[in-house]
Structure 1
C-alpha cells in the first residue's frame, strides 16, 4: 500500500513537472513574440528617425542656400549703394565746378562788356568831335574866297595828274604821280590799323584782287577785331586769298577796307576801258571815291 502511495506520489510529481514544463514553454513562446514585436517597432522608429534626420538635413541645406543668397544680395546692395554714393558725389562735384566756371565766365563777360561800353563811349565822343571840326572846316572853306581859289588850283593839279595817268593807266603805287598821291593821302591812311602786319597783307590782297569779305553775324559775346585789336561787335569777316584763314572785322574796319576796294575796282575798270563816260565824269568819280575813303577812315 505504501508502494502504491509512493507510486501515486511519483506520478503526481511527474504530472506536476509536466505541467510546469508546459507552462514554461508557453511563457517562452509568448516572450519571443513580444521581443520580436519590440524589435520591429524599434526598427520602425529608427527608420522614422533616419528619415526625419534626412529631411532636417535637406531643410538645413535649403536654409543654408537661402542664407547664402541673402548674403550675396546684401553684398550686391551694399556695392550698389557705394557706387550710387560715389556717382552722386562726383555729380555734385561736377555741378559745383560748372557753377564756378559759369560764374567766372559771366563775370568776365560783364567786365568785357563794361570795357567795350567805355571804349565805344570814348570813340563816339571822339567821332562827334571830329564831325564838329570837319563841319567847321567846311563852313570856313565855303566862306573864304582865298581858300576856294586854292582849292581850284589843287583841283586843277589833281585833274592834270589824273589825265596823265589815263594816258598809261596802272594801279602800281609808283607808276604815276596820281597813284602815288592817292596811296599817300587816301589808301595808306585808310588801311593803317593797330595790327600793322595784317594791314600790309590786306593792302597786298586788295592790289592783287584777292580779298573776300562777307557778313557773319556773331551772336552772343563780343569778339576782337583782327585789325583794330578792340573788343566789339564783329559782324564781318575777311579772307586774303583762296587758302587763307578768315579774320573777324568790326563795321568800322570793314567800311575802310570796302572804300579802298571800291576805289581799286573803279581804277581797274578804267584801266580795262570798261568805263564809258567822259573824262570829267571819270575824274569826278575818283574824287567821290577819295571822299568815301576819307569818311570811312573817320568812321562817318
Structure 2
C-alpha cells in the first residue's frame, strides 16, 4: 500500500521534476525506484518502508489470527452458555423432582403414621372384642353347665318319680274292690300332681280335664324353654332354623317328615335355593355336599349308605329340607308333645285318668330329652 502511494506521488511530481530537471532522475530509475542508479544499492528510506510494510503485513496476519481465535472463543463461549443453560435446566428439573420426592416421602410418612395408628386401634378393638367374646362364651358355658346340671337333676327327679309311680301301680294291684281302686287312683293322681309341682299344667274338675291355652300356661312355657327350644336348636348354636316359627306352626298342626332314598336326597335343592318358613338363608353361602339343614352336619357322598335321610317341611307351600336321623328324632319328639297338648285341648282324653295323662306327659318330655342326648348308632327315640 505504501509503495503504491509512493509511486502515485512520483508520477504526480514527475512533470515538475522533468521541467526543473531534478538531479534525482540521475540517481533513481523509474523502473527500479528502490535502487540507486549509480551504485545499484537500495535506498535506505525504501528499506525502512519495506520493513514497515513487512511489520504491517505480519501484524495484519496476527490480527487475522487473533480475530479467528476471538471468533473461536466466542463460539466456545456460546457453546458453554448453551451447556450452562442445559445444565441449569437439568438442575432445576432435579430440584423439582427432589421436591416432589420429598413431598411424597412426607406424605407416605403421614400415611404410614395414620395406618399405624389405625392398625393399633383395630388391634386394640380386636383384643377388646375377643375379650368380650371370651367373657360372653365363658358366661354362656357357665349357663350351659348350669342348664346341664338342671337337666340331669330333672332327669334324676323324673326317674325317681317314675319309680315311685311304678311302685304305686304295683301296690294298687292288691286292692280287690274296684271302688277302692278308683278312689286310690284319684288320690294317687292328685298326690302325684301336687308332688310334681306342675299343677299349672292342667286342672281337674268333675266333668272334664281342662288345659289352659299354651300362651297362658306357665308349665307349657317351662316345657318349651327346657325341652322344646333345646330340641329345635339341633345341637348347633349357629343353626339358622327359626325356632319360634317352628314352635308356632307345630303348636297348631304337625309338620311333614318323610323317609327318602339317597337319590331323592341328592335331588333336594340346597337350603340356599329352597323356600322355607323355618330356614333363614344368607346370600353368600354355597353348599356343595349333602348337609342337614337343621344341624349343619355334612354327609360325604363317598359313604352315604351308613346314613338315613329324611325330608322335612312345615307347610305344603314350603320346599323340602334335607335332615338326618338325629334331627328327625328331635322333630318327632316335639311333634308328639304338641299333638298331646292339642288332643287335651280338643277334649279327646276325657275318658282317661289324670294319672295316665301325667304319665304320658312325663314320657313325652323324656322322649324329647333322650332325642337330644342319645346318639347311639341305630337307636331310635321311638323305642324309649
TM-score range, shorter chain: 0.5 to 0.7
**Alignment partner of 1:41 out of 55, 61, 69:** 69
Distance in 1 separating the partners of 2:234 and 2:127:
29
- Cα pair 2:337 2:364 within 8 Å, conserved: yes
**Alignment partner of 1:140 out of 168, 172, 194:** 168
Distance in 2 separating the partners of 1:155 and 1:260:
26
- Assess, with a 3 A threshold, how the Cα gap between structure 1 residues 236 and 290 changes in structure 2: closer, same or farther: farther
Distance in 1 separating the partners of 2:167 and 2:334:
25
Distance in 1 separating the partners of 2:111 and 2:136:
37
The two structures have a TM-score, normalised by structure 2, of: 0.45
- Assess, with a 3 A threshold, how the Cα gap between structure 1 residues 134 and 236 changes in structure 2: closer, same or farther: farther
Map 1:116-265 to 2 at 5 A: 116-144=144-172, 145=175, 149-152=179-182, 180-183=208-211, 191-193=219-221, 215-217=232-234, 219-220=236-237, 237-240=246-249, 258-262=336-340, 264=342
RMSD: 5.3
Show the counterpart of 1:292: 360
Shift in Å, 1:63: 2.9
Distance in 2 separating the partners of 1:155 and 1:93:
71
Distance in 2 separating the partners of 1:295 and 1:238:
20
Distance in 1 separating the partners of 2:157 and 2:337:
22
**Alignment partner of 2:105 out of 77, 81, 86:** 77
Q: Deviations over 1:41-93 (max 9, x none)?
A: 21111211221221122122123223322332333233234323422331232
Distance in 1 separating the partners of 2:184 and 2:218:
21
Distance in 2 separating the partners of 1:64 and 1:15:
72
- Assess, with a 3 A threshold, how the Cα gap between structure 1 residues 131 and 15 changes in structure 2: closer, same or farther: closer
- Assess, with a 3 A threshold, how the Cα gap between structure 1 residues 155 and 130 changes in structure 2: closer, same or farther: closer
- Cα pair 1:259 1:296 within 8 Å, conserved: yes
Distance in 1 separating the partners of 2:215 and 2:46:
164
- Cα pair 1:255 1:296 within 8 Å, conserved: yes
Give SS of 2:209's match: helix
The gaps in structure 1 that reach 5 residues or longer are 1-6, 157-172, 200-213, 227-233, 271-281
Show the counterpart of 2:81: 53
Whether 2:134 is the aligned partner of 1:109: answer no
Map 1:271-290 to 2 at 5 A: none
Show the counterpart of 1:20: 48
The two structures have a TM-score, normalised by structure 1, of: 0.55
